[in-house]
Amino acid sequence: MEGLPAHSAAGGRTARRRAAEPRSGHVSNRRIVCWRHGQTLWNVEHRFQGHSDIVLDEVGIAQANRAAALLAALRPSMIVSSDLRRAHDTASALGRLTGLDPYTDKDLRERGGGEWEGLTREEIAARWPQEFAAWDAPGGEHVVDVADRVATAVRRWAGELAPGGLLVVASHGAALRLGIARLLGLPEELWSALGGLGNCSWSVLEEGRKGWRLLEHNAGTLPEPVHSDDIPEAAEDRP
């Protein structure tokens, strides 16, 4: 189960490069890969991890290495991860293959679980039946706060990319799902329509004239070139 100041990463390197803003009306084609960390023992035991700093298990390490080999083929421009070890170690597997040192950002942490952290679903349901039904942990973070926190951090890092650049964000299941929903501009009542991410799976977003759009979700293979049936963005702008 599942913070960054304006120009620096908490506990990590400082982003010094600021890409020039694209011209008005120009599509930058910047992309973001939102990559969930590999498996941990608490994932297997269905324990709420939240901000608890749980490491990858052997399966999770293998997952990270296997996924990194695929994502390296996309030639990322920048890698940033949550400061929690399960996400940072996942990002480091990609960093070793690409020569990029991952930045860290505490604003990419998982949703804080309050009193639920370390407990199984069964334990939570038995002790807090009403809160469990609403998935609202006592002392934990509200989903809107998590969505805003993660989306703001991702936008900030994406702003460092040159046009055509690719950012890989290694983070956590709930944090990424909520952040993606906010980046897509989905109303809160539709957030649950966006399914979760499996361990070491990823979603791909691309920036267009009208904001971010979802190209792939919960993928475990490289994006394949397809003949899209989307309406061209220029046509979408017509009245």
Which residues make up each annotated binding site for substrate? 36-43, 86
Query: How far apart (Å, rounded) are the C-alpha atoms in residues 94 and 102?
Result: 9
Considering the candidates 2, 51, 88, 110, report the single residue annotated as catalytic. Answer: 110
Considering the candidates 37, 51, 88, 172, report the single residue annotated as catalytic. Answer: 37
Residue with tokens 């990424």: 176
* Both structure tokens of 194: 């966006």
Query: How far apart (Å, rounded) are the C-alpha atoms in residues 14 and 17?
Result: 9
Three-class SS of the chain: CCCCCCCECCCCCECCCCCCCCCCCCCCCCEEEEEECCCEHHHHCCECCCCCCCCECHHHHHHHHHHHHHHHHHCCCEEEECCCHHHHHHHHHHHHHHCCCCEECHHHCCCCCHHHCCCEHHHHHHHCHHHHHHCCCCCCCCHHHHHHHHHHHHHHHHCCCCCCCEEEEEECHHHHHHHHHHHCCCCHHHHHHCCCCCCCCEEEEEEECCEEEEEEEEECCCCCCCCCCCCCHHHHCCC
Q: Examine the residue annotation and report whether 37 is marked as an active-site residue of this protein.
A: yes
Q: Examine the residue annotation and report whether 110 is marked as an active-site residue of this protein.
A: yes
Active site residues: 37, 110
